[in-house]
């Protein structure tokens, strides 16, 4: 599981936040379904762990039969093979609206309780801040503050991409919100604001940083130039670049982005190392703006709304 509820604060915690929470001490966690609340164990959350953080059930424990999360996973299995019916979609917690959350300021938090209560209040606020880009997914409004569940629905429900999604007061079908970055630039016809996606290089040296920006060079480019006689690697011609403005996002969010990119690159390397050739690729997905005429190969990410996945992207099914 990639989400759990903090038993102390009641907040929904994303597994990616565990590495940040680890420094202040982890809490106790349970299933996000109020009617299930099975105890969950946080895993792979230490900075030295290379695998992606996650939650799992304790040995011998199972989710309740009525658990919404379990039902959701079963529906996702069906969704890869056929279109989900309107009846199935009615109570399924898939995102229909993206809405950003305001940053939580922990510097002026006060409490009228004793010192222990103040410390608990501070830690609660830190946890909320670390996971502050997420809204409860299992809710009637189906509103999310991260593109992560939106990307997951797109990937896992190829037959239901005719479902409507609202992003910043603009509504269109899932299939039209997502736009793959590909060559040549004229083929892409990139316009406006979309959830763009492209392939990552296997090497992390394709990520560069300045004081204000982080640039991610994608595998997609206009072409490749052969290496020299010394058999140097091929070089990209006009590669597409995804740019993140570091000055407008938190350090935690930037760290989460870097960690997640590292996870998918590691998954790709392990698959290659273990000779597990498949159709999966390392991708990044981001809510961003199309390149400007003066800088036609650079996409700008909106407020750090970027996630990574090692996945196979199935074509949209009608």
- If one compares 217 and 11, the residue with the highest pLDDT of the two is 217
Question: Within 10 Å of residue 105's Cβ, how many Cβ atoms?
Answer: 9
Res 210 pLDDT > 90: yes
pLDDT of res. 103 = 40
Res 134 pLDDT > 80: no
Highest mean pLDDT among 17-21, 136-140, 276-280, 282-286: 282-286
Highest mean pLDDT among 16-25, 49-58, 98-107, 291-300: 291-300
Range in 16-25, 109-118, 243-252 the model is least confident about: 109-118
pLDDT of res. 242 = 97
Order the strands of the 170-173 sheet from edge to edge.
143-144, 97-98, 164-167, 170-173
pLDDT of res. 229 = 61
Range in 113-117, 199-203, 275-279, 280-284 the model is least confident about: 113-117
Just give the CATH number of 181-311.
2.40.50
Where do the domains of the chain lie? Answer: 181-311
Report the pLDDT averaged over residues 300-318: 93
Element (H, E) at 125: helix 115-130
Report the pLDDT averaged over residues 180-184: 84
CA-nearest of 156, 15, 151 to 75 is 156
Report the pLDDT averaged over residues 232-238: 83
pLDDT of res. 301 = 97
Concatenating the DSSP letter of every residue in 208-268 gives EE-SSEEEEEEEEEEEEE---TT-PPPEEEEEEEEEEEGGGS-HHHHHHHHHHHHHHHHHH
**pTM score, two decimals?**
0.79
Provide the strand spans (E) within the chain.
Answer: 3-6, 12-14, 29-30, 39-43, 54-57, 97-98, 143-144, 164-167, 170-173, 178-180, 193-199, 207-209, 213-225, 235-245, 281-289, 298-311
Res 106 pLDDT > 60: no
Res 96 pLDDT > 70: yes
Res 218 pLDDT > 70: yes
Percent of the chain with pLDDT over 70: 82
Scanning the structure block, which residue is given the tokens 């429900």?
157
Residue 47: pLDDT band (50, 70, 90) is confident
- If one compares 109 and 157, the residue with the highest pLDDT of the two is 157
Tell me the pLDDT tens digit for each residue of 3-34: 889 988 888 888 877 877 877 778 899 998 88
> pLDDT averaged over the chain?
82
pLDDT of res. 174 = 97
Report the pLDDT averaged over residues 145-164: 92
Question: Within 10 Å of residue 33's Cβ, how many Cβ atoms?
Answer: 20
């Amino acid at each position: 599981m990639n989400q759990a509820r903090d038993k102390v604060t009641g907040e929904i915690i994303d597994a990616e936040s565990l590495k940040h929470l680890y420094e202040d001490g982890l809490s106790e966690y349970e299933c996000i379904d109020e009617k299930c609340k099975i105890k969950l164990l946080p895993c792979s959350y230490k900075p030295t762990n290379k695998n992606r953080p996650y939650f799992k059930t304790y040995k011998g424990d199972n989710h309740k039969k009525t658990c919404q999360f379990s039902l959701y996973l079963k529906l996702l299995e069906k969704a890869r093979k056929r279109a989900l019916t309107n009846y199935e979609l009615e109570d399924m917690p898939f995102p229909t609206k993206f809405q950003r959350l305001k940053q939580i300021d922990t510097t002026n938090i006060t409490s009228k309780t004793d010192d222990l209560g103040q410390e608990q209040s501070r830690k609660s606020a830190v946890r909320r801040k670390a996971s502050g880009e997420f809204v409860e997914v299992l809710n009637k409004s189906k509103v999310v503050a991260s593109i992560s569940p939106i990307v997951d629905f797109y990937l896992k429900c190829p037959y239901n991409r005719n479902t409507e999604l609202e992003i910043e007061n603009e509504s269109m079908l899932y299939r039209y919100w997502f736009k793959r970055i590909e060559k040549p630039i004229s083929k892409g016809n990139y316009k406006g604001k979309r959830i763009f996606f492209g392939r990552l290089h296997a090497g992390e040296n394709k990520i560069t940083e300045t004081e204000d920006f982080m640039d991610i060079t994608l595998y997609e480019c206009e072409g490749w130039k052969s290496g020299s006689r010394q058999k140097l690697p091929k070089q990209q011609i006009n590669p597409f670049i995804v740019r993140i403005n570091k000055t407008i996002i938190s350090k935690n969010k930037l760290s989460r982005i870097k960690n997640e990119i590292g996870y998918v690159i590691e998954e790709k390397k392990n698959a290659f190392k273990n000779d597990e050739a498949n159709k999966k690729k390392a991708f990044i997905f981001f809510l961003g703006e199309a390149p400007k005429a003066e800088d036609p190969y650079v996409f700008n990410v909106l407020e750090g709304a970027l996630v990574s996945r090692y996945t196979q992207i199935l074509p949209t099914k009608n």
